[in-house]
C-alpha cells in the first residue's frame, strides 16, 4: 500500500539514528491531502482511513520501513549548536513521485529520538494544523516548500504552557537535508562524512552537476541560486519565516520548518512576528541578508572539498556568497516588475518600485491588497488602489508615473491586468483567520473553518465568490500579531 525506499539510511551510521515512533492512544485523521497523495502516486482513498491514521501517527510501521532521525547541527539566532538533529521528527523513508522525483515522507511529532535533548518529541494540534495550512498555501502561491500529506490527532496530551491536544504532521520534502546537516560533519572535522553527504545531495537534488568537473563549488553555487530565488519569492508574497536558523535552511531550496512564520499585512520592512525574536534578527527585510549569512556557513563547511589549497578555497567560495546578493536582487526585482505589470526592463525600475514601497510603508498599506488593487488600476479602475492610501496625492503622483512607464510597455490593458492577477494573490493565510480556524479546531472540534480556509487558499490567485473576508486585513483594533515557538 505504501512502500518506502531508504537511500538516506544507507549512508554511514553516524548520519542518523534508527528509531521507532512512539505509540499513541487514539490516532484520528484530521486532514488528509488527496491532491498530494495523487502526486506521490499513493492510494489516497486507502490512506484517508483508520489504517492511514495508524500509519501517519507512527502506530503502524509498515514492513520494509526503516525509520530514522537525521543528525544535524545549526546556528540558532547566530549561536552555534553542534548537536541538534530530528528531536521529534522521524523519517519513514522516501517515495518516487509521478514526476520521478524522490520525496521524503517524515512524521513530525512522532515521539522522542536520541536527538530530543530536553524535548518531548511531540507536537500539538494547533501548530500541526498551522503548518499544514501555511505550507499548502505557500505551495499554491507557487513558492517552493515542504508539503503536508496528513494531520493526525494522537489522543495524547502535550504539555506546553498549557495542556494541549497532540497531533502528528506528515511532511513531504524533496529532502530534509539542511545547512545544519553539513555543519554537523564540519564541526566534527569529518571530511569523509561531508563528502558522502555532498555526493548524496548532488546525486539526489542537483544531478545536473554530475560529471562536469569538481562539483562542490558548483553545488554551493546551485544552492545559493535556489535560495536566492526562494527568499525573493518569500518577499514577493510578504512571507516572514521567523526562525531562519541554519538548521531551518534546506539544501533543496524549499521553505522548511514553519514554526513562528506569518504573512505581513501592513507593509513595514521591519516586521517581526515571533515572540522569541527580540532583536528582530529575522525581520522581513533581513531575510535576504540572513540567507546569505547561512550560505556563508554552508560555504565554510565545503572548503575542504572545494580546493586543497585553503586560501584558494576561501576565495572561490567567498565569491559565490558575494554573488548571491546580486542574484537575489535580480530575482527580487524581476518579481516586483511583474507585480506592477512590467515585462521590459528599464534602469530606473528599481527606484520606481522603491518609491511605491516607501509610500506603502509610510501609509501602512496592506502588502497583498495593494498589489492586487494595482491590477484594477491596470484595467482602468484606480479606486481600489487609491483608497488604500492616506496620502492620496502621493498615490496619484505615483500612479501617473506608473502610467507613463506602462506607455513604454507592449500589450493591452486587459492582458496586463490579467497578468498581474496571476502574480498578485487575492488570498494569503491572514493571521487572524489562521488563529480563528485553529481555535475552532482545538476548542470546538470544528474543522470547518480550517477546511474552508484551506480550500480558499488552494486557489490564491482566483477571486472566489463568498470568500471576501479572506481578503481583509485584521481589524485595526487588534493588538500586534505575535507568534510563538511553543510548537
Ligand atoms: P526548531 O527551531 O523548532 O526547528 O527546532 C530546533 C531543534 O529543537 C531541532 O533539533 C528540533 O528537532 C528540536 N525540537 C523542537 N521541538 C521539540 C520537541 N517538542 N521535542 C524534541 N525536540 C524538539
Ligand atoms: Mg527546525
What pLDDT is recorded for position 480? 81
pLDDT in tens, 339-386: 999 999 999 999 999 999 999 999 999 999 999 999 999 999 999 999
**Residue 225 to residue 209: CA distance in whole angstroms:** 13
Q: Answer yes or no: is the C-beta of 75 below 6 A from any ligand 1 atom.
A: no
Does residue 149 carry a pLDDT above 80?
Answer: yes
- In angstroms, what is the span from residue 482 Cα to ligand 1's centroid? 20
Does residue 129 carry a pLDDT above 60?
Answer: yes
- Any idea what DSSP says for residue 76? E
- List, as one string, the DSSP characters of 261-322: -EE--B--TT---BTT-TT-TT-GGGHHHHHHHHHHHHHHHHHHHH-SSHHHHHHHHHHHHH
Does residue 115 carry a pLDDT above 90?
Answer: yes
What pLDDT is recorded for position 211? 83
Q: Which residues contact 387 (CB under 8 A, 6 or more apart)?
A: none
- List, as one string, the DSSP characters of 83-113: ----SSEEEEEEEE-TTS-EEEEEEESB---
pLDDT in tens, 431-456: 999 999 999 999 999 999 999 999 99
Q: Answer yes or no: is the C-beta of 248 below 6 A from any ligand 1 atom.
A: yes
pLDDT class of 1 with cuts at 50, 70, 90 = confident
Q: pLDDT over 70 for what percent of the chain?
A: 99
What pLDDT is recorded for position 39? 98
Q: Which ligand is nearest to the CA of 72?
A: 1
Q: Answer yes or no: is the C-beta of 259 below 6 A from any ligand 1 atom.
A: yes
Q: Which ligand is nearest to the CA of 69?
A: 1
pLDDT class of 126 with cuts at 50, 70, 90 = very high
Of 123, 112, 115, 119, the closest CA to residue 150 belongs to 123
Given the CA of residue 123, which atom of ligand 1 is nearest to it? 19
Q: Answer yes or no: is the C-beta of 86 below 6 A from any ligand 1 atom.
A: yes
- Any idea what DSSP says for residue 417? H
Does residue 53 carry a pLDDT above 60?
Answer: yes
Q: Answer yes or no: is the C-beta of 257 below 6 A from any ligand 1 atom.
A: yes
Residue 56: strand, helix, or coil: helix
| Average pLDDT, rounded, for the chain | 97
Q: Answer yes or no: is the C-beta of 88 below 6 A from any ligand 1 atom.
A: yes
Least confident stretch, 24-28, 62-66, 261-265: 62-66
Of 8, 9, 2, 50, the closest CA to residue 27 belongs to 50
Given the CA of residue 245, which atom of ligand 1 is nearest to it? 2
Higher pLDDT residue, 487 or 123?
123
Given the CA of residue 259, which atom of ligand 1 is nearest to it? 3
Does residue 90 carry a pLDDT above 80?
Answer: yes
What pLDDT is recorded for position 214? 82
Does residue 487 carry a pLDDT above 70?
Answer: no
Name the pTM for this structure. 0.97
Q: Which residues on neighbouring strands pair with residue 163, listed in sequence order?
A: 159
What pLDDT is recorded for position 479? 76
Given the CA of residue 89, which atom of ligand 1 is nearest to it? 12
Q: Answer yes or no: is the C-beta of 120 below 6 A from any ligand 1 atom.
A: yes
Does residue 463 carry a pLDDT above 80?
Answer: yes
Least confident stretch, 82-96, 386-400, 419-433, 468-482: 468-482
Instruction: Let me know if 247 is a catalytic residue.
Output: yes
Secondary structure of 143-185 in the HEC alphabet? CCECEEEEEEEEEEEEECCCEEEEEEEEEEECCCCEHHHHHHH
pLDDT class of 286 with cuts at 50, 70, 90 = very high
What pLDDT is recorded for position 64? 87
Q: Which ligand is nearest to the CA of 274?
A: 1
- Give me the catalytic one of 48, 86, 156, 247: 247
What pLDDT is recorded for position 486? 53
Average pLDDT over residues 108-117: 98
pLDDT class of 421 with cuts at 50, 70, 90 = very high
- In angstroms, what is the span from residue 402 Cα to ligand 1's centroid? 47
Amino acid at each position: 500500500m505504501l512502500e518506502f525506499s531508504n537511500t538516506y539510511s544507507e549512508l554511514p551510521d553516524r548520519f542518523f539514528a534508527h528509531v521507532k515512533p512512539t505509540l499513541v492512544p487514539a490516532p484520528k485523521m484530521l486532514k488528509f491531502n488527496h491532491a498530494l497523495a495523487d502526486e506521490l502516486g499513493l492510494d489516497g482513498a486507502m490512506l484517508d482511513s483508520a489504517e492511514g491514521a495508524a500509519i501517519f501517527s507512527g502506530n503502524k510501521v509498515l514492513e520494509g520501513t526503516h525509520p530514522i532521525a537525521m543528525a544535524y547541527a545549526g546556528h540558532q539566532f547566530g549561536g552555534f549548536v553542534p548537536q541538534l538533529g530530528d528531536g521529534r521528527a522521524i523519517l519513514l523513508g522516501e517515495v518516487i513521485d509521478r514526476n520521478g522525483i524522490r520525496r521524503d515522507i517524515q512524521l513530525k511529532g512522532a515521539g522522542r529520538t536520541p536527538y530530543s535533548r530536553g524535548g518531548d518529541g511531540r507536537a500539538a494540534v494547533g501548530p500541526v494544523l498551522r503548518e499544514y495550512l501555511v505550507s499548502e498555501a505557500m505551495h499554491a502561491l507557487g513558492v517552493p516548500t515542504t508539503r503536508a500529506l496528513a494531520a493526525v490527532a494522537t489522543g495524547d496530551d502535550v504539555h506546553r504552557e498549557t495542556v494541549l491536544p497532540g497531533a502528528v504532521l506528515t511532511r513531504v520534502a524533496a529532502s530534509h537535508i539542511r545547512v545544519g546537516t553539513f555543519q554537523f560533519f564540519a564541526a566534527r572535522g569529518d571530511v569523509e562524512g561531508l563528502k558522502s553527504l555532498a555526493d548524496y545531495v548532488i546525486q539526489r537534488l542537483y544531478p545536473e552537476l554530475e560529471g562536469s568537473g569538481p562539483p562542490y563549488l558548483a553545488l554551493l553555487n546551485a544552492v545559493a541560486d535556489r535560495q536566492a530565488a526562494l527568499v525573493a519569492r518569500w518577499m514577493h508574497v510578504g512571507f516572514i519565516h521567523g526562525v531562519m536558523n541554519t538548521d531551518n535552511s534546506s539544501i533543496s531550496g524549499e521553505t522548511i520548518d514553519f514554526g513562528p512564520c506569518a504573512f505581513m499585512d501592513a507593509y513595514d520592512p521591519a516586521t517581526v512576528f515571533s515572540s522569541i525574536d527580540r532583536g528582530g534578527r529575522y525581520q522581513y527585510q533581513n531575510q535576504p541578508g540572513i540567507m546569505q549569512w547561512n550560505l556563508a556557513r554552508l560555504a565554510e563547511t565545503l572548503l575542504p572539498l572545494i580546493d586543497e589549497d585553503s586560501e584558494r578555497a576561501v576565495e572561490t567560495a567567498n565569491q559565490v556568497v558575494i554573488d548571491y546578493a546580486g542574484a537575489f536582487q535580480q530575482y527580487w526585482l524581476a518579481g516586483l516588475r511583474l507585480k506592477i505589470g512590467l515585462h521590459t526592463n528599464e534602469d530606473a525600475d528599481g527606484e520606481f518600485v522603491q518609491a511605491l514601497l516607501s509610500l506603502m510603508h509610510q501609509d501602512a498599506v496592506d502588502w497583498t491588497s495593494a498589489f492586487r488593487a494595482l491590477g484594477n488600476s491596470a484595467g482602468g479602475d484606480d479606486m481600489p488602489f487609491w483608497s488604500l492610501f492616506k496620502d492620496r496625492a502621493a498615490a496619484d503622483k505615483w500612479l501617473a508615473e506608473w502610467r507613463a512607464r506602462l506607455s513604454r510597455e507592449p500589450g493591452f490593458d486587459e492582458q496586463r491586468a490579467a497578468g498581474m492577477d496571476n502574480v498578485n494573490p487575492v488570498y494569503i493565510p491572514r493571521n487572524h483567520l489562521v488563529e480563528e480556524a485553529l481555535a475552532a479546531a482545538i476548542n470546538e472540534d470544528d474543522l470547518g473553518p480550517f477546511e474552508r480556509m484551506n480550500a480558499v487558499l488552494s486557489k490564491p490567485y482566483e477571486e472566489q465568490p463568498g470568500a471576501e473576508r479572506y481578503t481583509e486585513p485584521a481589524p485595526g483594533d487588534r493588538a500586534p500579531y505575535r507568534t510563538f515557538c511553543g510548537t
